[in-house]
Amino acid sequence: MSNSTTTEFTVRVQAEDFDVLAETEILTKGRKDVGAIVTFTGLCRDEGGTLEALELEHYPGMAEAQISKFAQQAVERWPLTGLTIIHRFGKIPPGDNIVLVIATSSHRRAAFEASDFLMDFLKTQAPFWKKEHLKETSEGTWVEAKAVDDADAARWRNSRH
């Protein structure tokens, strides 16, 4: 199904923060064919003031490989002009960025759908694990996977989009 003119994409797994505007400009600078930019940024929320920080563990190598696999599927499935995915690891306090997906396209639908698809697969198939550190307790707790996230990812197997 792939063709030789498939759009290239950028995947990064890093401890450092990212700059949404700077990453967006990389995908649009000097081009006039981009009609739509969809950015999704996932942030660490404070869970009603109880959360001290989230700790994100990952499987180095496999994390990059899995995200790249889904990025490849996205550029084959939708006519994107650009795609960047960044996922952070390490200790992240409330209010800070965790994950970024930017999809650009000539028209909005492809950019919206590709971003949605990628987030559903990042949640369930990319080897990252979140541990919650609460303010009240010293021991962290591993976040459990949610069935609703699996259901979200399954949507893309059933629809032809």
Residue 62 touches another protein, criterion: CB under 8 A: yes
Q: Of 3-11, 45-53, 60-68, 107-115, which part binds another protein (CB under 8 A)?
A: 60-68
Pairing type for strands 51-58 and 10-14 reads unpaired
- One of 37, 51, 59, 77 touching another protein (CB under 8 A): 59
- One of 16, 47, 129, 154 touching another protein (CB under 8 A): 129
> Which DSSP string corresponds to 68-133?
HHHHHHHHHHS-EEEEEEEEE-EEE-TTSEEEEEEEEESSHHHHHHHHHHHHHHHHHHS-EEEEEE
Q: Residue 83 in contact with residue 75, Cβ under 8 Å?
A: yes
Residue 145 touches another protein, criterion: CB under 8 A: yes
Q: Of 31-39, 76-84, 107-115, 141-149, which part binds another protein (CB under 8 A)?
A: 141-149
Closest to another protein by CB, 66 vs 105, is 66
Distance CA 118, CA 26 (A): 20
Closest to another protein by CB, 54 vs 110, is 54
Q: Which amino acid is at 138?
A: S
- Within the chain, how many helices (H) and strands (E) appear? 4, 8
Binding mask 76-115 for another protein (x = CB under 8 A): -----------x----------xx----------------
Note the residues at the interface with another protein (CB under 8 A): 42, 56-59, 61-63, 65-66, 87, 98-99, 119, 122-131, 142-145, 149
